[in-house]
Amino acid sequence: MTSAGHFARSLRLRRLYRHGTAGLMVTPLDHSISDGPVIARGSTIDTLAGQLAASGVDAVVVHKGSVRHIRPDRFADMSLIVHLNASTAQAPDPDAKYLVTGVEDALRIGADAVSVHVNLGSDDERRQIADLGRVADVCDRWNLPLLAMMYPRGPRVADPHDPALIAHAVTVAVDLGADLVKTYFPGTVPDMLDLTTSCPVPVLVAGGPARADESAVVDFVGAALDGGAGGVAMGRNIFRSADPRRLAARVARLVHRHPAAELDHTIRGQHHHDGQQTVLA
């Protein structure tokens, strides 16, 4: 990578970490294609985006069409990650993800980063891995950060939360060029530490199914951070909350102020003494 390219990618990564290098609080809203509407009755995606920006969320993940329905000023306080592939729950194979846009289009509409979802173990794994590799190449060409959403998921996966399978999924993302990886929490803090201490890029823990108890959400996030997670990517628990702004703010404060992340390193992939990761170069 040229010095100019190194600068451009680093600049975009720093924009993602707008609240400091302790960790990232990302709210994915890409569920709208896979599962249906994510916006509560009487609200809009612009209103939700405004609530998230005001709560301290670092970035939202949305599909390209949603961007035109969000006021640009919402992104004065948070970053835009455009999701590049999709599938629906009604498909013959919901685990098969298909590219629906590209890196250049994401840049054209103002993306700070892009994301791609891959299900390892699905019948369609071969094409999804190839898509991730091609997207990573284009991201390198344009110096755009790439978030890979990696899950052991499919007919050959007996336990999606098997730590060995999660570690394999994360390794695939790193080997193909991802800057950030989103995946499952493996179940325990020691298992999470095994994953994060051997990974050269930040691992963001997926928020998982919606929980009725807000304190359970906070406890889950705390365990992930204790395990060295580079942050969380929490969607359903936020947008299905009775008060998305309040819960997002609570989680964001925890991510940005967690004791495991008090040191501010500036070497990409360098780890804190207990496994906490940073991404800045």
For the segment 144-177, what is each residue's pLDDT rounded down to a tens digit? 999 999 999 999 999 999 999 999 999 999 999 9
| Confidence category of residue 281, pLDDT binned at 50, 70, 90 | very low
Q: CB-based burial of residue 202 (10 Å sphere; 0-12 exposed, 13-18 middle, 19+ buried)?
A: buried
Q: For residue 280, how many other CB atoms are within 10 A of its CB? A: 16
182: annotated active-site residue: yes
Q: How many residues in the chain?
A: 281
For the segment 16-71, what is each residue's pLDDT rounded down to a tens digit? 999 988 999 999 999 999 999 988 888 999 999 999 999 999 999 999 999 999 99
Report residue 264 as tokens: 């501010």
Q: Are 261 and 272 in contact (CB under 8 A)?
A: yes
* Strand spans (E) along 74-112: 79-83, 85-86, 98-99
Q: Mean pLDDT score of the chain, rounded to an integer?
A: 91
pTM of the model: 0.91
For the segment 60-108, what is each residue's pLDDT rounded down to a tens digit? 999 999 999 999 999 999 999 999 999 999 999 999 999 999 999 999 9
Domain covering 3-261: architecture: Alpha-Beta Barrel (3.20)
64: annotated active-site residue: no
From the list 180, 101, 97, the residue with the least C-alpha distance to 144 is 180
Helix (H) or strand (E) holding 164: helix 163-176
CA 251 vs CA 80, 168, 181, 196, 232: distances in Å: 19, 28, 19, 20, 9
In degrees to the nearest 10, what's the CA dihedral of 190, 265, 179, 176? Answer: -70
| Confidence category of residue 3, pLDDT binned at 50, 70, 90 | low
Domain boundaries of the chain, sorted by first residue:
3-261
97: annotated active-site residue: no
Q: What is the DSSP-derived secondary structure letter of residue 271?
A: B
Catalytic member of 112, 151, 179, 194:
151
Residue 270 above 60 pLDDT?
no
d(CA 7, CA 225): 29
Residue 140, helix vs strand vs coil: helix
Catalytic member of 17, 30, 184, 194:
30
- What pLDDT does residue 4 have? 66
For the segment 213-227, what is each residue's pLDDT rounded down to a tens digit? 999 999 999 999 999
For the segment 214-267, what is each residue's pLDDT rounded down to a tens digit? 999 999 999 999 999 999 999 999 999 999 999 999 999 999 987 654 433 332
- What pLDDT does residue 212 have? 81
From the list 169, 102, 173, the residue with the least C-alpha distance to 141 is 102
- What pLDDT does residue 6 have? 82
Catalytic member of 95, 112, 182, 184:
182
Q: Are 57 and 259 in contact (CB under 8 A)?
A: no
Strand 85-86 with 98-99, pairing: antiparallel
